[in-house]
Amino acid sequence: MWLNASADALSRLYGTSGALMILSMATPSISASGNTTSERALLLGMRKIDRREWWLWSSAILIILLLTFGLMSYIFPLLQQEDLDSLLLNHPVRGLLGLVLLFDVYVIYQQLQLYRMRRELLQREELFRLITENAADMIAVVDSVGTRLYNSPSYERVLGYSQQELHEASPYEWIHPEDQARVEGAALELQQTGQGHRIEYRMRHKNGSWRILESTASVISGPHGRSGNLVIVNRDVTDRRKLEEQFRQVLKMEAVGRLSGGIAHDFNNILGVIIGYSELLREQLEAKDPLVSCVDEILAAGRRGASLIRQLLAFSRQQVLEPKIIDLNAIVSDTEKMLRRLIGEDIELETVLDPGLAKIKADQTQIEQVILNLCVNARDAMPDGGKLIIHTENTEMTEADIRRYSYPVKPGPYVLLTVSDTGIGMNAETQARVFEPFFTTKEKGKGTGMGLATVYGIVKQSDGYIEVHSEPGAGTFFKIYLPQATGTAEISEGDKKLTVPLREQGHETILVVEDESALRKLTVNVLPTLGYTVLAAANGKEAVELSQQYPDTIHLLLTDVVMPGMNGRALAEQLALTRPNMQVLYMSGHTGQGVGQGVLAPGSNFIPKPFTREKLADKIRQLLRSDSTSHGAEDSGGTREETTAS
């Protein structure tokens, strides 16, 4: 109250100069274009105000002091006179002198108060400057027609436009054409109702890219409650929306993976029955029988279905793996000759292998599949020829490196496999879906869309990471990070080449434990054709009882891994107490039942579902042959067979 009165009094005393001075102190140092926010300009402006203010007040005080001295020079001689009447006549003069002195004191006091007010305004101005210059959000003040009155410096940091460019631009110049109507509608609604709501729209960056802004606005009410200027706060949410989209993609991939994994497991058993009985039927038919071609088509369809199921399981990270210490360089070198035939002569293949490359622990067959699928994908991206490079190297994922990923990544040493091509490349939309199952950009009938989905699943199930970098017309880079492992590379079963011909018949006893009745019946029908005696049980409890009741030797336990009540490993351990020399062969197509993963211990013998009659016969014969070598033959028939096989 008294400050307002003081301001009025000073205005009357000093005229318009004082009013202008007070206005300049009370108004933040923001021009109509809202551009003067630098600290140096602010300090220079305040110093100018200081000099003008002190000059005005010094002049006022000087005039007052001159008036005071003038009155004193007139009064002091009168005080020296002895005439009482003269003294009495000068009482009004003394009162005037007192008022002048009192006014001097009041002016000094008022100046001190105004100085304090000015310092407070300066501090508020500094606080406002710090907030606006350091705020990540973009703050703007616009009038009712959309003219920008103020823009915070963050506009230049986020969008790249200078304050001059912002001030000269039209209200909707840089807003995406598809979003302009929504922004205009929101502004009109805000002005009419005074209530705004949060909207998102795209605004063009100075470099030509589009940024997604989340905007909120409020109205500064004018005189008589009328809507005045708008205060708009914009936040750049482009990176957040990208992370959210990546997270949705991960969730979608996980959901599709669980669905495809469940379907694949059920179809494994169905396909196993179809393939198995088709093989039995094919063996019973004469070569000239007209039904032979029909059975062959059934077998071919079943095997294609089994291949597709394996790809689905790979994508869903539920395939059966047999991880071992392997040399990635050796795998690339072994597959190089086949790859050259696969990609064609018009594509140059170059391998850059790090001689000091560390070992990895993975399933060799699946890693070969990864390399094969990536090279096929690169070949299809270069219809007119080009260059394909396979590069291996050691790398380290540091804490700083993993921050660039939107998903969890473990720091540590990795082996990096890079497959790059000079093909047509991919746009952002294609890259976002490149690992989805059944997604393909190829013509109908030229691709299943499972190649890269299979790669994704194998890499993830091997505790690795995969990323893709591509631009239209600039080729594609696939980078695969696999954890380094210590140890000596092992020779895979495929390299040992211990295939046994089907004509080699067995004579041993096999206990089959399978909870799927159709598959159990098939196995019981197939094994006798190979010369084996078969005992069958539907679960672990039945198998234990059957083993206790059977008096003779059981040479092999062929058991499913996941069964109700007792799993395959627990069953094998229980039977081993009474039959320590019995071999064990696990079979499964279920989630995560790789050797050394889930239920099975490292070194376990395993055959994945669905399997053919030939693969089952080979695996059983290999185990029983090794058992005969280690423990000796049980009878003369076994000795003769071992001798013959040798």
What are the structure tokens assigned to 563, written together? 């069964």
Among candidate residues 484, 481, 477, the one with its CA nearest the CA of residue 465: 481
**What's the CATH number where 276 sits?**
1.10.287.130
Which pLDDT score, from 0 to 100, does residue 44 have?
66
What does the alpha-carbon distance between residue 501 and residue 45 come to, in Å, rounded to a whole number?
98
Are β-strands 148-151 and 347-352 bridged in parallel, bridged antiparallel, or unpaired?
Answer: unpaired
- Residue at token pair 């062959």: 296
Q: What are phi and psi of 577, to 5 degrees?
A: -65, -35
**Listed residues 87, 106, 133: the one ending a domain:** 133
305 φ, ψ to 5°?
Answer: -65, -40
Alpha-carbon 227 to chain mean position: 44
Same domain assignment for residues 328 and 468: yes
Instruction: Give the contacts of 497 (CB within 8 A, at least 6 positions apart).
Output: none
More confident residue, 244 or 533: 533
Rounded Cα distance, 157 and 211, in Å: 13
Same domain, yes or no: 10 and 128:
yes
Q: Which residue has the higher pLDDT, 389 or 5?
A: 389
**pLDDT, mean of residues 212-226:** 74
Query: Quick one: 142 and 129 in the same domain?
Result: no
- Cβ pair 315, 453 in contact under 8 A: yes
In the listed set 100, 133, 166, which residue is the last one of a domain according to the structure? 133
Distance CA 345, CA 342 (A): 9
- Taking the C-alpha atoms of residue 277 and residue 613, their distance in angstroms, rounded to an integer, is 9
477 and 353 in a common domain? yes
Q: How many structural domains is the chain composed of?
A: 5
Tell me: do 247 and 284 sit in the same domain: yes
Instruction: Examine the domain organization and report whether 23 and 39 are in the same domain.
Output: yes
Whether residues 176 and 79 share a domain: the answer is no
| 492 part of a folded domain | no
| Residues in Cβ contact with 111 at an 8 Å cutoff, skipping those fewer than 6 apart | 57
> What DSSP element (H or E) covers 220?
strand 210-221
User: DSSP 3-state assignment of 509?
Assistant: strand
Sheet containing 533-537: give its strands across: 533-537, 509-513, 556-560, 583-588, 606-608
How many other C-beta atoms lie within 10 A of the C-beta of residue 521? Answer: 16
CATH of the domain at 455: 3.30.565.10
* 178 and 283 belong to one structural domain: no
> How distant is the alpha carbon of residue 635 from its chain centre?
62
Please give the C-alpha separations between residue 616 and each of 269, 306, 444, 501, 557, in angstroms, as whole numbers: 15, 15, 36, 11, 13
Give me the phi and psi of 274, to 5 degrees please: -60, -50
pLDDT at res. 81: 58
Write down the pLDDT at residue 599: 55
Lowest mean pLDDT among 194-203, 214-223, 522-531: 214-223
Q: Where are the beta strands (DSSP E) in 404-472?
A: 412-421, 465-470
Q: Which residues on adjacent β-strands are paired with residue 467?
A: 479
Name the residue among 68, 66, 90, 71 with its Cα closest to residue 79.
90
Range of the domain at 289: 242-315
**Hunting for tokens 């009712």 — which residue is that?**
144
- Proportion of the chain above pLDDT 90, given as a percent: 14
Give 103-152 pLDDT, tens digit per residue: 767 777 777 777 787 788 778 878 877 777 777 788 888 877 777 788 88
CATH of the domain at 615: 3.40.50.2300
b/e code 25-52 from CB counts within 10 Å (16+ = b): beeebbeebbbebeeeebeeebeebeee
**Spatial CA neighbour of 214 closest among 191, 245, 177, 239:** 239
Q: Is residue 491 part of a domain?
A: no
pLDDT at 383 over 60: yes
Residues 6 or more apart whose Cβ sits within 8 Å of residue 476: 378, 381, 420, 421, 423, 425, 426, 468, 469, 470
**Cα–Cα distance measured from residue 300 to residue 61, given in angstroms and rounded to the nearest whole number:** 110
Banded model confidence at residue 94, pLDDT cuts 50, 70, 90: low
Does residue 436 sit in the same domain as residue 361?
yes
- Judge whether residue 449 has pLDDT over 70: no
pLDDT digits (tens, 9 = 90+) for 231-267: 888 888 888 887 777 777 667 666 766 666 667 667 7
- Residues 212 and 194: their CA atoms lie apart, in Å, by 25
**Would you state the pLDDT for residue 574?**
92
pTM higher than the cut 0.85: no
- Category of 476 on φ-ψ map: left (φ > 0), alpha (ψ -120 to 50) or beta: beta
Q: Are residues 9 and 118 in the same domain?
A: yes
Answer yes or no: is 493 within a domain. Answer: no
> Does pLDDT of 598 surpass 70?
no
How many whole angstroms separate alpha carbon 432 and alpha carbon 186?
A: 32
Angle CA 227–230–236, to nearest 5: 155
More confident of the two residues 601 and 452: 452
Q: How many CB atoms lie within 10 A of CB 243?
A: 13
Q: In the sheet where 210-221 sits, what is the strand order?
A: 148-151, 138-142, 227-236, 210-221, 199-204
Instruction: Return the residue matching tokens 């274009």.
Output: 33
Domain assignment present for 198: yes
- Asked whether residue 155 falls in the same domain as residue 119, the answer is no
Residue count of the chain: 646
Torsion of CA 269, 270, 274, 279, to 10 degrees: 0
| Rounded distance between C-alpha atoms, residue 395 and residue 409, angstroms | 14
Vertex 247: Cα angle to 244 and 251 (nearest 5): 140
Among residues 429, 453, 485, the one where a domain terminates is 485
- The chain-wide mean pLDDT, for the chain, equals 75
Same domain, 337 and 471: yes
Token couple for 335? 């597959």
Predicted pLDDT at 227: 58
pLDDT tens-place string over residues 41-56: 656 666 666 666 677 6
Q: Is the peptide bond before 610 cis (omega within 30 degrees of 0)?
A: yes
